Amino acid sequence: MRERDRVLSSLKTEAQRLTYTARTWVALLARFGYATKGAVYMIIGLLAALAAFNRGGRTTDSQGAFQEILSQPYGQFLLGTVAIGLVGYTVWCCVQAIQDTEHRGSSAKGIIIRLGYGVVGFIHASLALSAVQLIMGVRTSYKGEESSKEWTAVLLAQPFGQWLVGIVGVGVLIAAIMQFYQAYTGDFRQELKRSEMSDSTELWAMQIGRIGLIARGIVFAVIGIFVLLAATHANPNEARGLRGALRVLEQQPLGPWVLGLIALGLMAYGIYMLVLACYRRIGV
């Protein structure tokens, strides 16, 4: 009897140790993922800002940021680090969806939000794969803005294709509205371990987060509107991705200033991701 109790106690202790180790690794991967996401957004924003003020930059997206990283000294190492970070963020999104770390529950709304985490994880997994392919010199199927038009064309070719594309457009617009809502209410501060932040750090994080969320919301809104136009007109060429949305903003009255402000906002969002890397509540 004592031997059995000893074995059971040993197994329980080992299980607790493994669980603690797994949670530690998930938390580390999540924080590294936030930092990586922040770095990518900062590069996108910086390149757009340089383009806005004729300093040699360009409007681009995550893939363009990867190419920029790869062109730097030790580019393969740096991009490899980015790929690992994106994998870490993917793992965290999957944990959020499966373990319900944000306590969304099993209601219809909660399930939709948790599915959203899964979709975001899939997107970042695809980005990680693209980064690895660039490092290995594999010619990828990425065609810049053409990729947005291609997936729109694929959906339009399906039964009820216009409705499918329209649903995607509405989803992107809802994501934009959520960005604006979070910026207005400041609800995103609940994600932070504020007890570990000084008052000035918390205030600074709130302001930079609001600016970043507004800029990201504007970009999402532009993307969503053009996806809806593509659905309405059954024309995939009207769809836009991140780079296309930035170009649309650049073509507006006072375009360089508009693009410059949005670019600075995207950089602010990147900085906020770095704040999350340090102070995000990681409940696993």
The answer to whether the beta carbons of residues 33 and 86 sit under 8 Å apart is yes
Phi-psi region of 39 (alpha: psi -120 to 50; beta: other; left: phi over 0): alpha
Rounded to the nearest integer, the mean pLDDT of the chain is: 86
Segment among 41-50, 101-110, 116-125 with least mean pLDDT:
101-110
Q: What is the reported pLDDT for 8?
A: 47
Q: Copy the structure tokens of residue 143.
A: 């065609």
Specify if 172 maps to a domain.
Answer: yes
Q: Which one has a higher pLDDT value, 143 or 179?
A: 179
Q: What is the reported pLDDT for 161?
A: 85
Residue 255 has pLDDT above 70, yes or no: yes
Q: Compute the average pLDDT of residues 116-125.
A: 89
Residues present in the chain in total: 284
Residue 48 has pLDDT above 60, yes or no: yes
Q: Which one has a higher pLDDT value, 86 or 239?
A: 86
Q: Compute the average pLDDT of residues 46-51.
A: 91
**Three-state secondary-structure class, residue 245:** helix
d(CA 225, CA 245): 10
Q: What is the reported pLDDT for 174?
A: 92
Dihedral Cα 68, 43, 174, 162, nearest 10 deg: -20
Q: Compute the average pLDDT of residues 36-59.
A: 89
d(CA 132, CA 134): 5
Specify if 223 maps to a domain.
Answer: yes
The answer to whether the beta carbons of residues 176 and 220 sit under 8 Å apart is yes
Residue 11 has pLDDT above 50, yes or no: no
Range of the domain at 188: 144-284
Q: What is the reported pLDDT for 90?
A: 94
Read off the pLDDT band of 160 (50, 70, 90): confident
Q: Compute the average pLDDT of residues 114-124.
A: 89
Nearest to 130 by CA among 121, 144, 140, 120: 140
Helix, strand and coil content of the chain, in percent to the nearest 5, comes to: 80, 0, 20
d(CA 86, CA 46): 20
d(CA 76, CA 80): 6
Percentage of the chain exceeding pLDDT 70: 89
Q: Compute the average pLDDT of residues 53-58.
A: 81
State phi, psi for 192 to the nearest 5 degrees: -95, 150
Q: Compute the average pLDDT of residues 25-49.
A: 92
Q: What is the reported pLDDT for 113?
A: 86
Q: How far is it between the farthest Cα atoms of the chain?
A: 82
Residue with tokens 């600075």, as numbered in its chain: 264
Total domains present in the chain: 1
Read off the pLDDT band of 25 (50, 70, 90): confident
Residue 45 has pLDDT above 70, yes or no: yes
Read off the pLDDT band of 15 (50, 70, 90): very low
State phi, psi for 138 to the nearest 5 degrees: -80, 130
Residue 18 has pLDDT above 50, yes or no: no
Residue 7 has pLDDT above 70, yes or no: no
User: pLDDT per residue over 208-248, tens digit each?
Assistant: 999 999 999 999 999 999 999 999 988 888 888 888 888 88
| Exposed e or buried b per residue across 150-167, where buried means at least 16 C-beta atoms within 10 angstroms of its C-beta | eebbebbeeeebeebbbe
Q: What is the reported pLDDT for 151?
A: 83
d(CA 238, CA 236): 5
Q: What is the reported pLDDT for 184?
A: 93
